[in-house]
C-alpha cells in the first residue's frame, strides 16, 4: 500500500515476520535511526557527514549502535550500565524518602504513578550516563523529557511549526541544556559514564560542534529512556489493582531480599527464581506493545514468495500480532500473567516480539528487564502501596492507542493513578 506517498509493505503473518528478520542486510533499520537524528535536532551537515561514511565506524547508525552496545555488553567497572542503574535505583528508593525529583517525597507520601515511574526511570537514564551534574544543573529537563518522549515522532515530519511547537520547544530546551553540560570542564562531569567521553572525543576530532554532540546525546537518551518508564508504569499499575497478585509477588520476591528489605535485591534471584514476576513483566510487554516497526528495503528481496522492491518501507504491526485471538486466545486483550506462567515457551515464541527482531532487535532488552524488575520488586517489598480511596474510585488507566511509538504505548493524556506510599513494618 502507499502510506504518505511511500510504497509500504505490511508484514502480518508470523512466518513472514520471521523470514524478514533473516533479511537483515536488505531490510534495514538505519534509515529510521537517521530519522531519529532529525527528531533529535542534529544539524543537516552533521547528519550528512555521519551518514556519508558507508558502513564504517563513523556511519551515524553504526555509531549510535556502538555507543549503546559498548556500554550494554562490554561495560566493566564504571562503564557497567546495569550496575550504575541499579545503584541509582537504590538511592532513589530510600526507606524514608523517594529521591527521584526535588523536593523528595517523604514517606508516608502521596504521589502519581505516572510521574513517579517516568521521572524515576528518566532520571536514572540521565544520571547513569551523564552523572548527577546534569540534572543538578537542569532539573526542569525531567518535565521536558516527559513531554518530548510522548510526542517525539512529530519532530520527524516537516509540519508547520505551530502544530508541533510544544515538542520542539522542549526538545530544544533539553539539547540547549546538554550543550551547556558539554561546555563544562571534564573535571565537573567526572562522574559521567567513561564511554561517553570517548564518543565525545571521537565526534570532536571529526569537527562536530557541541550543539550536535548534545543533540546526538539526546537521541541516545530518547532510545534508552523512552520505554522502561512505560513498562514500569503498566506493570506496577496491574499489581496495584490485583491484591492477590501483589501478595504472591511479595512472597516470591522475598528471597531476593535476604540481606534485608532496605538492601539492594539479588538481581539473579529476580531474573531466574521469580517466575510469576517475570510472567507479569512479559504479559505487560505483550499487552502494551505499540503499533509498529518500520524498516526500509535497501535491496530487492523476496518474502513469503512476494517480491519486495528496494526503496520501499516494511512495516510490522507488532500490536496486531500480540492481540491476535487465534494466537493468544479470546482473552487476548486482558492482562493475565498465567498465560506466560503456564506456557513459558511463549516468551521466546515467534509471535511474541516486544523487543522487535532482525536488524533492529533491541540491544537494551536485558537491562530493561533488570531495571524494571528491580524497581517493582523493591517498591512492593519495601513499601505499602495503595490506590488512594481504593481501586473502585479510580478507573484503571487507559493507554494511548494512537501513539506512534517504537516500543510500548504510553498512558493516554490524564490517565494516571494516585497512590499512598508508606513503610512496611
Binding residues: 362
Q: How far is the CB of 211 from ligand HEM (least distance, A)?
A: 23
265 vs 356, which CB is nearer to ligand HEM?
356
12 vs 184, which CB is nearer to ligand HEM?
12
- Specify the stretch interacting with ligand HEM by CB under 6 A; choose among 20-28, 134-142, 194-202, 357-365: 357-365
- Specify the stretch interacting with ligand HEM by CB under 6 A; choose among 165-173, 195-203, 333-341, 403-411: 403-411
Paired strand residues for 314:
9, 295
Q: How far is the CB of 356 from ligand HEM (least distance, A)?
A: 3
Judged by CB under 6 A, does residue 196 bind ligand HEM? Answer: no
C-alpha 371/C-alpha 93 separation (Å) is 13
Q: Are 64 and 220 in contact (CB under 8 A)?
A: yes
Judged by CB under 6 A, does residue 367 bind ligand HEM? Answer: yes
Of how many residues is the chain composed? 425
Judged by CB under 6 A, does residue 376 bind ligand HEM? Answer: no
What distance, in Å, lies between the first and last C-alpha atoms of the chain?
A: 60
Q: Count of CB atoms within 10 A of residue 332's CB?
A: 16
372 vs 387, which CB is nearer to ligand HEM?
372
C-alpha 139/C-alpha 127 separation (Å) is 11
- Specify the stretch interacting with ligand HEM by CB under 6 A; choose among 10-18, 65-73, 144-152, 202-210: 65-73
Cell numbers for 203: 565526534
Q: How far is the CB of 306 from ligand HEM (least distance, A)?
A: 20
86 vs 387, which CB is nearer to ligand HEM?
86
Annotated binding site for heme: 362
Q: Count of CB atoms within 10 A of residue 408's CB?
A: 22
The H or E element spanning position 3 is strand 2-3
C-alpha 226/C-alpha 151 separation (Å) is 11
Judged by CB under 6 A, does residue 411 bind ligand HEM? Answer: no
Q: Are 286 and 333 in contact (CB under 8 A)?
A: no
- Specify the stretch interacting with ligand HEM by CB under 6 A; choose among 52-60, 173-181, 344-352, 406-414: 406-414
Residues 6 or more apart whose Cβ sits within 8 Å of residue 106:
96, 97
The H or E element spanning position 366 is helix 365-382
Q: In the chain, what are the helix, strand and coil shares in percent, each to the nearest 5?
A: 55, 10, 35
Q: How far is the CB of 225 from ligand HEM (least distance, A)?
A: 8
41 vs 410, which CB is nearer to ligand HEM?
410
81 vs 380, which CB is nearer to ligand HEM?
81
Alpha-carbon torsion (205, 68, 359, 146), positive or negative: negative
Q: How far is the CB of 125 from ligand HEM (least distance, A)?
A: 8
What is the C-alpha R_g of the chain?
Answer: 21
- Specify the stretch interacting with ligand HEM by CB under 6 A; choose among 143-151, 194-202, 330-338, 355-363: 355-363
Judged by CB under 6 A, does residue 145 bind ligand HEM? Answer: no
For ligand HEM, the nearest residue by Cβ is 364
C-alpha 333/C-alpha 328 separation (Å) is 9
| Contacting residue, 68, 118, 419, 421, with ligand HEM by CB under 6 A | 68
Residues 6 or more apart whose Cβ sits within 8 Å of residue 423:
95, 96, 107, 108, 382, 383, 384
| Contacting residue, 362, 376, 385, 387, with ligand HEM by CB under 6 A | 362
Three-state secondary-structure class, residue 306 = strand
Number of residues that bind ligand HEM (CB under 6 A): 24
49 vs 65, which CB is nearer to ligand HEM?
65
144 vs 360, which CB is nearer to ligand HEM?
360
C-alpha 143/C-alpha 158 separation (Å) is 25
Judged by CB under 6 A, does residue 29 bind ligand HEM? Answer: yes
50 vs 68, which CB is nearer to ligand HEM?
68
Residues 217-256 that bind ligand HEM (CB under 6 A): 223-224, 227-228, 231
Q: How many DSSP H helices and E strands does the chain contain?
A: 19, 12
Q: Are 246 and 239 in contact (CB under 8 A)?
A: yes
Q: How far is the CB of 66 from ligand HEM (least distance, A)?
A: 10
Q: Which residues bind ligand HEM (CB under 6 A)?
A: 29, 65, 68, 72, 223-224, 227-228, 231, 285, 293-294, 354-356, 360, 362-364, 367-368, 406-408
Amino acid at each position: 500500500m502507499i502510506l504518505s506517498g511511500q510504497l509500504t509493505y505490511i508484514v502480518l503473518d508470523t512466518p513472514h515476520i520471521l523470514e524478514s528478520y533473516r533479511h537483515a542486510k536488505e531490510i534495514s533499520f538505519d534509515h529510521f535511526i537517521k530519522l531519529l537524528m532529525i527528531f533529535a535536532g542534529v544539524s543537516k551537515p552533521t547528519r550528512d557527514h555521519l551518514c556519508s561514511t558507508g558502513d564504517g565506524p563513523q556511519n551515524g547508525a553504526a555509531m549510535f549502535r556502538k555507543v549503546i552496545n559498548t556500554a550494554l555488553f562490554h561495560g566493566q567497572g564504571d562503564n557497567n550500565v546495569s550496575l550504575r542503574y541499579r545503584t541509582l535505583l537504590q538511592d532513589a528508593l530510600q526507606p524514608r524518602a523517594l529521591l527521584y525529583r526535588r523536593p523528595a517525597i517523604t514517606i508516608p507520601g502521596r504521589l502519581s504513578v505516572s510521574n513517579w515511574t517516568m521521572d524515576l526511570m528518566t532520571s536514572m537514564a540521565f544520571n547513569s550516563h551523564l552523572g548527577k551534574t546534569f540534572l543538578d544543573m537542569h532539573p526542569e529537563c525531567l518535565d521536558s523529557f516527559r513531554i518530548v518522549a510522548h510526542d517525539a515522532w512529530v519532530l520527524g515530519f516537516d509540519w508547520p511549526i505551530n502544530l508541533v511547537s510544544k515538542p520542539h520547544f522542549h526538545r530544544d530546551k533539553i539539547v540547549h541544556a546538554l550543550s551547556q553540560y558539554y561546555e563544562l570542564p571534564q573535571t565537573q562531569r567526572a562522574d559521567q559514564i567513561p564511554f561517553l567521553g570517548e564518543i565525545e572525543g571521537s565526534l570532536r576530532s571529526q569537527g562536530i560542534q557541541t550543539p550536535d554532540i548534545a543533540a546526538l546525546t539526546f537521541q541516545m537518551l530518547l532510545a534508552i529512556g523512552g520505554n522502561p518508564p512505560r513498562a514500569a508504569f503498566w506493570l506496577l499499575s496491574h499489581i496495584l489493582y490485583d491484591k492477590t497478585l501483589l501478595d504472591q509477588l511479595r512472597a516470591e520476591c522475598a528471597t531476593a531480599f535476604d540481606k534485608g528489605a532496605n538492601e539492594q535485591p539479588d538481581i539473579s534471584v529476580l531474573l531466574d527464581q521469580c517466575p510469576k514476576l517475570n510472567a507479569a513483566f512479559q504479559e505487560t510487554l505483550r499487552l502494551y506493545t505499540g503499533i509498529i516497526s518500520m524498516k526500509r528495503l535497501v535491496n530487492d528481496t523476496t518474502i513469503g514468495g512476494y517480491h519486495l522492491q528496494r526503496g520501499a518501507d516494511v512495516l510490522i504491526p507488532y500490536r496486531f500480532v500480540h492481540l491476535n485471538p487465534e494466537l493468544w486466545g479470546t482473552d487476548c486483550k486482558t492482562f493475565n500473567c498465567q498465560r506466560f506462567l503456564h506456557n513459558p515457551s511463549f516468551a521466546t515464541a515467534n509471535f511474541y516480539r516486544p523487543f522487535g527482531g532482525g536488524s533492529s532487535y533491541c540491544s537494551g532488552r536485558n537491562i530493561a528487564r533488570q531495571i524494571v524488575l528491580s524497581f517493582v520488586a523493591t517498591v512492593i517489598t519495601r513499601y505499602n502501596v495503595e490506590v488512594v480511596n481504593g481501586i473502585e474510585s479510580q478507573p484503571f488507566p487507559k493507554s494511548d492507542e494512537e501513539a506512534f511509538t517504537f516500543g510500548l504505548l504510553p498512558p493516554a493524556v490524564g490517565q494516571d493513578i494516585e497512590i499512598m506510599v508508606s513503610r512496611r513494618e
